[in-house]
Amino acid sequence: MSVDPALLSILRCPDEHHAELTLDAEAQTLTCTSCGRIFEIRDGIPVLLLDEARLPEGGAPVTGDSAPVAGGESPLTEGGAA
């Protein structure tokens, strides 16, 4: 199953940089052109959740803007509140 081309033209990475995504139709994934995160497409629906994205080879996002916080805590949960 494929994603509608009109939808693909407006989708962006959910991280703060909101970069464009490239489609790998064979693998059924979208890859961020900035951080390199790989998002699966399930049943024709892109799963644009940072928690479910795979990191590029090497295990870390490509840019420093979205690098994990020291100690492994998410910036959203730091301080105990989301």
**Hunting for tokens 């970069």 — which residue is that?**
19
pLDDT in tens, the chain (82 residues): 678 889 999 999 999 999 999 999 999 999 999 999 999 999 989 999 999 999 988 776 665 444 443 444 444 444 555 4
Q: Quote the pLDDT of residue 12.
A: 97
pTM confidence score: 0.70
* Sequence-separated (6 or more) residues with CB below 8 Å from residue 48: 11, 13, 14, 30, 39
Among 64, 60, 63, 54, residue whose Cα is nearest residue 27: 54
Instruction: Report the C-alpha gap between 25 and 3 in whole angstroms.
Output: 9
